[in-house]
Structure 1
Amino acid sequence: MRLELVNTGTELCLGDVINTNAAWIGQRMAALGIEVARQTIVPDGGAVKEAIAEAAARSDVVLVSGGLGPTNDDVTRESTADLLGLPLFEDAKARATLEAYFARRNKVPVASNFRQVMVPAGATVLENPMGTAPGLYFPAALGESRGWNCHIFLLPGPPRELKPMVEACLEPRLREWIPDGTSRRVIYLKLTGIGESEIVESVEKDLEKVPGLELGYCIGKGDVDVRLAGQPGPVEQGAEIVRSRLGDFILSEDQRVIEEVVIQRLAERGEWLATAESCTGGFLASRLTDVSGASKVFGHGFVTYANEAKQNHLGVPEDLLAAHGAVSEPVARAMADGCLRVSGSDYALSVTGIAGPTGGTEEKPAGTVFVALASKGQETVVKKLFYPVSRDRFKLLTSQFALDMLRRRLNGLPMP
């Protein structure tokens, strides 16, 4: 099955918005055994019609995201109808749904909103529970007059609207059209604490010997995905090779990131975590609280950027700071121990370092950071790291390492 993705939006072409939809859809399709044959990004307006026509002429399925809104440059609906020679009519159910959406928010729709309930004859309305623009499905038969044999799906562009509609409206139909798709399996082994080249050196030669196994890598934010695809037998054989060689580095096999893994593990154990941050400025706590359910395991997050804050909130001794400096092993240890004591948590992570590019010295250059993990009934562990990178990358890598320390302790694995 050939599937193409057409992403519409001038903001995507200009780089004002990063196209995260394409990556997510590609992964979802791969899990079904469908490889996205081509991704096209076009600005709003007339280019949309041309892109849809080109994709539909050579594909079995075309998914178009964006351009279903109320403004005059949202022309995906009208362009598709024009291509297929279909008249538009107002769908009563779609109108009622839109009016109810606004009523729940104590608002009144304006005239332009009702463009979104215009439906081409023969198309199926796809419910959008998260927004005002319904999606549309055009069966392949509607394109026969143009010589097409292509199913066309029009979905909203905002990820919070598109993703649930892909899962509820697109994927069930795709499964029906590829009945043997269930025999195909895709595993994403997400690893952290090890680089892509080290992974390749450790497992690639043996993975390439597995008949019928498709292998790929993807570098993420502080982690690396090893993608194994094919029939269940070869995929499981390949996964076992990775597990046996690199098991301690594997975060998940279902694409969960490290903060999700840690939150779930803490919840399973009924334990609590607290954080004390200096150079990361709350980024570690932010990552944790991005996970739904974090409030059940994460109760305290201290941002102690100044020395006075370290003393007042965490009880770090003034003479310790004077003797060793804020960026030091003793202070990182005292921050973690103080955080554990003040919060009453089961675990406490602390970070103190020099994010740069200024502030470094010959002894402690920019990029130097100490990460500590304190736990009830266990010795506090401190690690010194060096990340001479941009400030945002520094925060990411430091928080990733801290969370990996905790993951390993929760799972009884050696410290990194």
Structure 2
Amino acid sequence: MRLELVNTGTELCLGDTINTNAAWIGQRMAALGIEVARQTVVPDGGAVREAIAEAASRADVVLVSGGLGPTNDDVTRESTAELLGLPMVQNPEVTAHLEAYFIKRNKPVSPATLRQAMVPVGAEVLENAFGTAPGLYFPAQLGAARGWHSHIFLLPGPPREIKPMVENCVEPRLRALSPDGLSRLVLYLKLTGIGESDIVEKAEKELEAVAGLELGYCIGKGDVDVRLAGQPEPVLRGAQIVRDRLGEFIISEDRRVLEEVIIHSLAERGQWLATAESCTGGYLSSRLTDVSGSSKVFGHGFVTYANEAKQKHLGVPASLLDLHGAVSEPVARAMADGCLATSGADHALSITGIAGPTGGTQEKPAGTVFIGLATKGQETLVRRFFFPISRDRFKLLTSQAAMDMLRRRLLGLPQVGL
């Protein structure tokens, strides 16, 4: 099955909005065993019609995102109807949905808004539970007069609207269109604490020797996805090879990121975590609280950027700061111990370092960071890491290393770092 994705929106072409929909849809399709053959990004207006026509002439399935709203530059619906020669009529169910949507917000339904209730004859309405613009599905037979065999889906642009529509409306139809594709399996094994080149060195030759296995890598936010695709037997063989060679670095096989794994692991154990951050300025606690359910396991997050804050809130002795400096193993240890005692948590992570690009010394260059981990009833650990990169990337990798220290302790795995 050849699938093409058409993303519409001038804001995408100008770079004002990052096209996260394309990446997410590509991942969802890969999980179904469908590879996106081409992605096209076009501005609002006349280019939309041309892009849909080109994609529909080549592909079995076309997914179009954006351009279904009430403004005059939202032309995706009208362009597709014109291409297929379909008249449009006002749909009573969509009209009722729009009226209920705006009544709930004490607003009138404007004529411009009612444009979204116009549905091409023969198209199926895809419910939008999180917005006003419905999606539309055009079965392949509607394009037969033009010699097309393409199933066309028109989807809203906002991620909070398009994602549930793809999951609930598009994917079931794609499964029905390609029952043979269900035999194809795609697995993503997410690893952290190891680079792509090390993965290649440790496992790639053995993986490449598995007949019928498609192998790929994708670098994420402090992690690497190993993508295995093909028929079930070679994929499962490949997954076992990765587990055997790189098991301690695998954080999930269901695409969960490390903060999700940590929150869920603590919840299963009924344990609490607290953090004490200096150079990351709360980035670690922000990542943790991005996860739904984090309030059940995360109660305290200290940002002690100044030495005075480390003394006041964490009880770090001034003499320790004077003797070793804020960026040191003893201070990281004292921060973790103080955080554990103050919060009453089961685990406490501390971070102190030099994010750079200034502030480093020959002994402690920019990028140096110490991470401490204190746990009730266990020895407090401190590890030194070196991330000589941009400040934002430094914060990301440091928070990732901190969470991985906790993951390894929870699982009884050996620690990394110096």
Q: CA deviation at 1:101?
A: 1.5
- The whole-number CA distance in structure 1 between the counterparts of 2:286 and 2:109 is 35
Pairing of 1:87-106 with structure 2 (within 5 A)? 87-106=87-106
Q: Give the C-alpha shift of residue 106 in structure 1.
A: 3.0
The one-letter code of the counterpart of 1:264 is: H
Q: Return the offset for 1:109.
A: 3.1
Q: Does 1:147 align with 2:147?
A: yes
Deviating more after overlay: 52-61 vs 92-101: 92-101
Matched, 1:267 2:267: yes
Partner of 1:345: 345
Show CA shifts across 1:329-375 (max 9, x none): 11111111001001100000010111111222222221111111110
Structure 1 Cα separation of the partners of residues 379 and 175 of structure 2: 52
List aligned pairs for 1:323-342, cutoff 5 A: 323-342=323-342
TM-score of the superposed pair, with normalisation by structure 1: 0.99
In structure 1, C-alpha distance between the alignment counterparts of 2:241 and 2:30, rounded to whole Å: 21
- Indicate the SS of the match to 1:40: strand
Q: Secondary structure at the match of 2:379?
A: strand
Q: CA deviation at 1:113?
A: 1.3
Structure 2: distance between partners of 1:18 and 1:137: 26
Cα displacement string for residues 102-144 of structure 1 (whole angstroms, at most 9, x for unaligned residues): 2223333333211111111111111000111110011111111
CA-atom RMSD, angstroms?
0.9
1:181 matched to 2:181? The reply is yes
Q: How does 1:61-76 map to 2 (within 5 A)?
A: 61-76=61-76
Structure 1 residue ranges, 4+ long, deviating more than 6 angstroms after superposition: none
**In structure 2, how many angstroms separate the alpha carbons of the residues matched to 1:104 and 1:196?**
51
Counterparts of 2:106 and 2:366, CA distance in 1: 52
Measured in 1, the distance between the counterparts of 2:298 and 2:239 equals 33
Q: How many residues align?
A: 416
Amino acid of the structure 2 residue aligned with 1:231 = Q
Secondary structure of the residue aligned to 1:379 is coil
Shift of 1:86: 1.1
Q: Structure 2: how far apart are the matches of 1:324 and 1:375? A: 23
Q: CA deviation at 1:15?
A: 1.2
Alignment deviations for residues 255-310 of structure 1 (CA, whole Å, 9 cap, x no partner): 10000001110011010000011100110000000100001111111111111111
Equivalent in the alignment of 1:215: 215
Which segment is superposed worse, 176-185 or 298-307? 176-185
Residue number in structure 1 paired with 2:377:
377
Match of 1:231 in 2: 231
> In the TM superposition, what are the counterparts of 1:10-409 in structure 2 within 5 Å?
10-409=10-409
Could you list the runs of 5+ residues in structure 1 that have no partner in the other structure?
none
- Secondary structure, aligned partner of 2:259: helix
1:184 shift after superposition: 1.2
- After TM superposition, give the deviation of residue 181 of structure 1 in Å: 2.0
CA distance in 2 between counterparts of 1:19 and 1:12 reads 6
TM-score (norm 2): 0.98
SS at match of 2:301: strand
Question: Where does structure 2 lack aligned partners over 5 or more consecutive residues?
Answer: none
3-state SS, counterpart of residue 279 of structure 2: coil
Letter aligned with residue 212 of structure 2: G
The one-letter code of the counterpart of 2:47 is A
1:410, distance to aligned residue in structure 2 (A): 0.9
SS of the residue aligned with 2:73? coil
SS in 1 for 2:13: helix
Question: Which 10-residue stretch deviates more, 179-188 or 154-163?
Answer: 179-188
- Percent identity between matched residues is 78
**Secondary structure of residue in 2 paired with 1:143:** helix
